Amino acid sequence: MFNKNLELTNQQLEKQEEFKALVDTEIVPAAEQVDHEECMPDAVLQKIIDKGYWGAAVPAKYGGADMDYITYGLWNEEVGRGCANLRNIIGVQGMVTSSILRWGSPEQKQYWLPKMSSGELMASFAITESQIGSDIKNLQTKAQQVGAEYVISGQKNWITFGQRANVFLVFALCEGQAVALLVERNTPGLTIRPISGMLGFRGSLLAELIFEDCRVPIDNLVGSVGFGLSLVANNGLTHGRYSTAWGAVGLAQACLNASLDYVMERKQFDHYLKEHQLIQQMIADMVTNTIAARHLCFRAGQLWDNNEVTATFATSLAKYFSSVHAFTAAKDAVQIHGANGCSNKYPVERYMRDAKIMEVVEGSTQIQQVLIAQDAFHFFQN
């Protein structure tokens, strides 16, 4: 919807219709269960795998779908419209595969990426700690090189897909220098504790990871010692911001769709809600900002596809605007629905809880503002 001015190719339009059909038939019907039961049914994940979309942005030579950035964005938007939890999980998978693709050795790419693309391995990005959110330079998790192994000790918290993933990209400090290490789920010394009862993203299978002298081969080091944060983590986080930005557009579109349906069926004071001017104002803002957010995401995708230096800046813009708008759209959708919007009779209360999390993950709203301002000093200074 509202994509006529996005200059999509015929192939991208075809993929968009394919994504929409999959989401409407397989994902939307499961979204309420995912949220209520704080789960992610294997059957839903298997549908994604069967379609070949688990490695959406991974090159074909590694078994991936080889989507360009725009197509990958459209995929994230449609999934975000249907289920924010699933979009979050897909985004995290992409954060890991994109990091290996950019900074992994040829041997690591050949070994890990085909397994991740096929769904044999499901990945998670483990950087956040209880006391460390955005301040990633002060990680408390430590890694020590002992012979041909790294020994990891510490804890990670609120790790998306941690309950289900069977390989983690873990960030730690080794003698003060950042490292990124691939840790398989069955590695001795790794304990996984499920997390439940969150405000939103309840079906994202969050977990706490506890490392107690957890040993991994030195070959599991992604990138070089000292570049775990500046290169590997930033690469993954940027990918996550791009995915989240498009997902937020999808969530905003879901809010708009639900609101349009409701105002055309609900009457107050002998008039349909759509006839009340203050309701029209909320709908107008929802429409305008959803279109604007989609265009910011599309522009970021264009820049990535063209390998432009400003792509990272455009991604921060898109993530900032889209996530803030998604929460505003969800809040207004709840307001439009009134008391119905405060119950699970309608999905807008879930939309609002999930939208709030989008302002926090992969760099909070405030972090995006800092990044945008810093880039502005560079790109726009006379």
Q: pLDDT per residue over 23-35, tens digit each?
A: 999 999 999 999 9
In this prediction, residue 90 carries a pLDDT of 96
Residue 71 confidence (pLDDT) above 90:
yes
Q: How far apart are CA 40 and CA 33, in angstroms?
A: 9
211-256, pLDDT tens digit by residue? 999 999 999 999 999 888 889 999 999 999 999 999 999 999 999 9
Residue 210 confidence (pLDDT) above 80:
yes
Interstrand relation of 149-159 and 167-174 (parallel, antiparallel or unpaired): unpaired
105-139, pLDDT tens digit by residue? 999 999 999 999 999 999 999 999 988 766 677 88
Task: Tell me if 172 sits within 8 A of 142, measured CB to CB.
Answer: yes
Residue 4 confidence (pLDDT) above 60:
no
Computed from CA positions of residues 113, 117, 120, 125, in that sequence, does the dihedral angle turn out positive or negative? positive
Task: Tell me if 346 sits within 8 A of 258, measured CB to CB.
Answer: yes
Query: Exposed, middle or buried: residue 215 (CB in 10 Å: 0-12, 13-18, 19+)?
Result: middle
Residue 382 confidence (pLDDT) above 90:
no
CA atoms within 13 A on the CB side of 167: 21
Task: Tell me what the mean pLDDT of segment 268-284 comes to.
Answer: 85
In this prediction, residue 5 carries a pLDDT of 58
In this prediction, residue 6 carries a pLDDT of 79
Q: How far apart are CA 159 and CA 99, in angstroms?
A: 17
Per the annotation, the verdict on 362 as an active-site residue is yes
DSSP assignment letter at 25: I
| Percent of the chain whose pLDDT exceeds 90 | 82
Backbone angles phi, psi at 343, to 5 degrees: -120, 170
Maximum separation of any 2 CA atoms in the chain, in Å: 78
Task: Tell me what the mean pLDDT of segment 323-333 comes to.
Answer: 97
In this prediction, residue 281 carries a pLDDT of 92
Task: Tell me what the mean pLDDT of segment 187-192 comes to.
Answer: 97
Interstrand relation of 123-126 and 167-174 (parallel, antiparallel or unpaired): parallel
342-360, pLDDT tens digit by residue? 988 899 999 999 999 999 9
> Angle between the 311-337 and 365-379 helix axes, to the nearest 10 degrees?
140
140-169, pLDDT tens digit by residue? 999 999 999 999 999 999 999 999 999 999
Residue 144: Cβ within 10 Å count? 14
Computed from CA positions of residues 151, 123, 77, 353, in that sequence, does the dihedral angle turn out positive or negative? negative
Q: Which of 77, 129, 349, 362 is catalytic?
A: 362
Q: What is the pTM of this model?
A: 0.94
Least confident range from 58-62, 94-98, 276-280, 329-333: namely 276-280
Q: How far apart are CA 41 and CA 37, in angstroms?
A: 10
Task: Tell me if 240 sits within 8 A of 92, measured CB to CB.
Answer: yes
